[in-house]
Amino acid sequence: MDEVKLISDDVFEQIKDFNPFRLTEEQRSLVNKLITDEELKENYAENGLCRNCKQPKRIFYQCSYCMFQQNFKNWTSGNHEIDEFIKKAQLKADIMELIVEWIEYDKFENVEYLAKGGFGITFKAVWKDGPICNCNNNQWEREGETKVALKCLYNSQGITTDFLKEVESNILVYWSGYTVRCFGIPNIQKQIIS
């Protein structure tokens, strides 16, 4: 996964008092000069700056970057590569459907065997909380009960960077309509992709 792009403290100091929704021509010119990355510039124009992390907000009126950062200490998969993959995916998500999470097994119910395949075993289940769907008063709101497929990989201890790149590709092509949405990486005796 690509590195998360950030603006410098110097750039923040120069534009922090601007209203991104009502820039003067002079301010717009300065913003265009200082923020060269188009994605960061677009996030700034659409959502403004977070006073806490000094970055353009990505998804919500509240800063999702800060909210995810604050939650990093509350979970771990036990696998450094998976943790870093999820963290980067969360920080880069600019729409709800691209948010990926570490999901503990106790968040699922009605787990039932579906099929055995070349890479693992597939189960169906209900994710009790469901995926993040909104943010209100600095609290995540969730969709509630959501039917999901869980894939228990045969060699889950050997998850590689290549495998995580495949998961990333799945997340990115979800919008094509030909792929099942990847909500995250659940914890179920072995690593699973839901």
What 3 state SS string does 38-54 have?
A: HHHHHHHHHHCECCCCC
Query: Rounded CA gap, 118 and 109, in Å?
Result: 25
Structure tokens at 32: 């265009």
Given this model, what pLDDT does residue 5 score? 81
Quote the number of domains for the chain.
2
Q: Within this chain, do residues 128 and 88 fall inside the same structural domain, yes or no?
A: yes
What CATH code is carried by the domain that includes residue 112? 3.30.200.20
Q: Within this chain, do residues 46 and 117 fall inside the same structural domain, yes or no?
A: no
Given this model, what pLDDT does residue 171 score? 79
* Residues in the chain, pLDDT under 50: 190-191, 193-194
Query: Rounded CA gap, 33 and 161, in Å?
Result: 36
DSSP code, position 128: S
| Angle (CA) 52 183 144, round 5° | 85
Residue whose token pair is 């970057």: 65
Q: Within this chain, do residues 52 and 144 fall inside the same structural domain, yes or no?
A: no
Q: Within this chain, do residues 44 and 83 fall inside the same structural domain, yes or no?
A: no
4 in any annotated domain: no
18 in any annotated domain: yes
127 in any annotated domain: yes
41 in any annotated domain: yes
Contact partners, residue 19, CB within 8 Å, separation at least 6: 48
133 in any annotated domain: yes
71 in any annotated domain: no
Q: Within this chain, do residues 104 and 27 fall inside the same structural domain, yes or no?
A: no
Q: Within this chain, do residues 50 and 113 fall inside the same structural domain, yes or no?
A: no
Q: Within this chain, do residues 125 and 182 fall inside the same structural domain, yes or no?
A: yes
174 in any annotated domain: yes
pTM score: 0.77
Is 178 strand, coil or helix?
A: coil
Q: Within this chain, do residues 107 and 162 fall inside the same structural domain, yes or no?
A: yes
Pairing of strands 108-116, 139-142: unpaired
Q: Within this chain, do residues 162 and 106 fall inside the same structural domain, yes or no?
A: yes
Provide the residue range defining the domain that includes 176: 77-193
34 in any annotated domain: yes
Q: Within this chain, do residues 45 and 85 fall inside the same structural domain, yes or no?
A: no
Given this model, what pLDDT does residue 191 score? 43
For every residue of 13-79, which 3-state class applies, written as one string? HHHCCCCCCCCCHHHHHHHHHHCCCHHHHHHHHHHCECCCCCCECCCCCCCHHHHHHHHHHHCCCCC
Q: Within this chain, do residues 130 and 35 fall inside the same structural domain, yes or no?
A: no
Cβ atoms < 10 Å from Cβ of 156: 20
**Angle between helix 25-34 and 38-47 (nearest 10):** 140
